C-alpha cells in the first residue's frame, strides 16, 4: 500500500466573502483562514474583491502575486470555483429570472448572451487555474431536465437522452479547454443540477465520451438529504472523485414532510445543512473510505448551516477536518510477525506434502 495523505484542511470562501473586513480582500481573508488553522483556501472566481478572473487568465505574474499573498499567512490556493457561472451554462427557461442574478446586470433578460458569458468565464478559469499551477477546478453542470425530476406527467420517451446529449454538447468544448490546460473539471453532484447523483453523472459521462477531464466534487451532505449511500458512492466513483467538500447535514423526516421539504425554509425542513459535527454524516467512514483509495486531493470545508453563525462554524471546522484526515501507511500492521515467503512451508501448511 502506497502511503499518502489528503491535503488540508481547506475552506471554501464563497460563504464568507463580503464587503466587511477581514472578508473583503484576499490577504485579509487568507490571514483569517490561516489563523484558524486552515492550510488552503478555495476561491470563488466571481468574487472580484478576491480575484480578477480575466487578469488571472492572462497573467501568470498576477497569479504568482495572489499565491504569494496567501503564502505569507501559510495558506495555499487549493482550487478555483465557477459554481455560479457553471450553473448558467445550462438554464431551463423556467428558471431564467431566478438565475439572472448570477450574471452581470447588463446580461439579465438575455439568456443567450448570459450563456455565452458563462462559457467564456469557464474558459478563463481554465487558463487561470493553469497559471496558478492548480490541477482541479470546481463547478456546477447547470440543468435542462430538473423540472422533470419527479415524473408527472410522465417523461416522453427519449427526453432524458436528448437532455444529456445537449448538456454534453455545451460542456464538451469547455472540457476540451480544461484538458489543454491540464486541469480536471469537477462537477459538484447537487440537487437542482442535472448531475445530482451517481446515475445522472454516469449519463453525462457517457454523453461526453467518457471525457478524461470529467470528474466529481464529492459532497456527502447532498447525498444524505437524498438518502443515498454516500460511503458506497466512493466505492463506485473514487477514480473520478478529485475534490471533496466537507459539509454536514441531517435528515429527520416526520408525519408532515420528508425529502421534498414542503416548501419550508431551511430551518424547518426535515433535511437541513449543519456545521461540522452537528449533523448525521459519518465522516469517520468517509475519511476511511478515501484513505482506502489513497485520495490525495484537498479536503475543503464548505460551511452552510441553518442555525450556527458562520464564523463559529469556520473556527470549529479546521480542527474537525484535521482530526479526521488519515495519513495512510505503506506497510501492514502485522508485518512484524511476517515469516517471508517459503513455498515448501506453505505447501506443508496446506497439507500438500
Q: How far apart are the first and last CA of the chain?
A: 33
Judge residue 3's burial from the number of C-beta atoms within 10 Å of its C-beta, 0-12 exposed, 13-18 middle, 19 or more buried.
exposed
3-state SS class at 192: coil
Segment 330-342 shows an average pLDDT of 72
Confidence of residue 331 (pLDDT cuts 50, 70, 90): confident
Domain range enclosing 110: 7-349
pLDDT of residue 327: 85
121: which residues sit within 8 A by CB, 6+ positions away?
45, 53, 82, 85
**Is residue 272 situated within a structural domain?**
yes
**Is residue 1 situated within a structural domain?**
no
Segment 12-27 shows an average pLDDT of 98
Contact 194, 167 (CB under 8 A): yes
In this predicted structure, the answer to whether residue 126 has a pLDDT above a threshold of 70 is yes
Contact 246, 276 (CB under 8 A): yes
204: which residues sit within 8 A by CB, 6+ positions away?
141, 164, 167, 168, 171, 187, 194, 195, 214
CA 103 to chain centre: 21
The 10s digit of each residue's pLDDT in 8-19 is 999 999 999 999
Q: Could you tell me the pTM of the whole model?
A: 0.95
**Is residue 165 situated within a structural domain?**
yes
pLDDT of residue 337: 64
Confidence of residue 4 (pLDDT cuts 50, 70, 90): low
- The mean pLDDT of the chain is 96
Confidence of residue 53 (pLDDT cuts 50, 70, 90): very high
pLDDT of residue 336: 65
Contact 152, 199 (CB under 8 A): no
In this predicted structure, the answer to whether residue 7 has a pLDDT above a threshold of 70 is yes
The 10s digit of each residue's pLDDT in 144-202 is 999 999 999 999 999 999 999 999 999 999 999 999 999 999 999 999 999 999 999 99
pLDDT of residue 329: 75
The per-residue DSSP string of 269-329 comes to SSEEEE-TTSS---HHHHHHHHHHTT--SEEEE----SSS-HHHHHHHHHHHHHHH--B--
Q: How far is CA 146 from CA 95, 160, 310, in A?
A: 10, 10, 30
Q: Name the one residue in this structure whose C-alpha cell is 443567450.
A: 112
pLDDT of residue 342: 87
Q: Name the one residue in this structure whose C-alpha cell is 504568482.
A: 64
**Is residue 208 situated within a structural domain?**
yes
* CATH value at residue 17: 3.20.20.150
In this predicted structure, the answer to whether residue 3 has a pLDDT above a threshold of 80 is no
Number of domains in the chain: 1
Contact 93, 53 (CB under 8 A): no
**Is residue 2 situated within a structural domain?**
no
* Cβ atoms within 10 Å of 236's Cβ, excluding its own: 13
In this predicted structure, the answer to whether residue 131 has a pLDDT above a threshold of 60 is yes
pLDDT of residue 38: 98
**Is residue 102 situated within a structural domain?**
yes
Segment 75-98 shows an average pLDDT of 98
Confidence of residue 2 (pLDDT cuts 50, 70, 90): low
CA 6 to chain centre: 15
Contact 119, 112 (CB under 8 A): no
Q: In this predicted structure, which of 30-34, 83-87, 340-344, 348-352 has the lowest mean pLDDT? A: 340-344
**Is residue 204 situated within a structural domain?**
yes
CA max distance for the chain: 84
**Is residue 53 situated within a structural domain?**
yes
The 10s digit of each residue's pLDDT in 216-254 is 999 999 999 999 999 999 999 999 999 999 999 999 999
pLDDT of residue 330: 75
Amino acid at each position: 500500500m502506497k502511503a499518502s495523505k489528503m491535503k488540508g484542511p481547506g475552506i471554501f470562501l464563497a460563504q464568507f466573502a463580503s464587503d466587511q473586513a477581514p472578508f473583503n480582500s484576499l490577504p485579509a481573508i487568507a490571514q483569517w483562514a490561516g489563523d484558524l488553522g486552515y492550510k488552503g483556501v478555495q476561491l470563488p472566481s466571481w468574487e472580484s474583491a478576491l480575484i480578477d478572473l480575466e487578469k488571472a487568465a492572462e497573467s501568470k505574474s498576477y497569479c504568482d502575486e495572489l499565491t504569494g499573498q496567501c503564502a505569507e499567512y501559510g495558506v495555499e490556493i487549493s482550487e478555483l470555483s465557477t459554481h455560479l457561472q457553471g450553473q448558467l451554462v445550462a438554464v431551463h427557461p423556467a428558471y431564467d429570472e431566478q438565475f439572472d442574478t448570477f450574471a452581470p446586470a447588463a446580461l439579465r433578460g438575455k439568456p443567450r448572451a448570459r450563456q455565452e458569458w458563462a462559457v467564456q468565464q469557464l474558459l478563463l478559469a481554465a487558463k487561470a487555474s493553469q497559471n496558478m499551477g492548480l490541477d482541479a477546478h470546481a463547478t456546477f453542470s447547470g440543468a435542462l431536465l430538473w423540472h422533470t425530476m419527479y415524473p408527472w406527467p410522465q417523461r416522453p420517451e427519449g427526453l432524458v437522452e436528448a437532455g444529456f446529449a445537449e448538456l454534453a454538447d455545451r460542456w464538451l468544448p469547455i472540457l476540451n479547454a480544461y484538458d489543454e490546460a491540464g486541469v480536471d473539471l469537477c462537477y459538484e453532484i447537487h440537487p437542482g443540477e442535472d448531475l445530482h447523483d451517481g446515475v445522472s453523472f454516469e449519463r453525462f459521462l457517457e454523453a461526453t465520451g467518457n471525457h478524461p477531464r470529467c470528474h466529481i466534487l464529492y459532497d456527502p451532505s447532498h447525498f444524505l438529504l437524498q438518502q443515498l449511500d454516500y460511503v458506497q458512492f466512493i466505492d463506485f466513483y473514487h477514480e473520478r472523485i478529485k475534490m471533496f467538500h466537507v459539509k454536514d447535514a441531517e435528515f429527520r423526516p416526520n408525519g408532515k414532510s420528508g425529502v421534498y421539504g414542503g416548501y419550508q425554509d431551511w430551518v424547518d425542513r426535515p433535511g437541513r445543512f449543519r456545521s461540522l459535527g452537528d449533523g448525521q454524516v459519518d465522516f469517520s467512514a468517509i475519511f476511511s473510505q478515501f484513505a482506502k483509495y489513497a485520495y490525495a486531493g484537498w479536503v475543503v470545508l464548505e460551511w452552510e448551516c441553518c442555525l450556527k453563525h458562520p464564523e463559529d462554524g469556520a473556527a470549529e471546522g479546521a480542527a474537525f477536518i484535521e482530526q479526521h484526515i488519515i495519513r495512510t501507511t505503506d506497510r501492514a500492521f502485522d508485518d512484524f510477525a511476517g515469516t517471508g515467503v517459503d513455498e515448501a512451508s506453505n505447501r506443508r501448511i496446506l497439507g500438500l506434502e
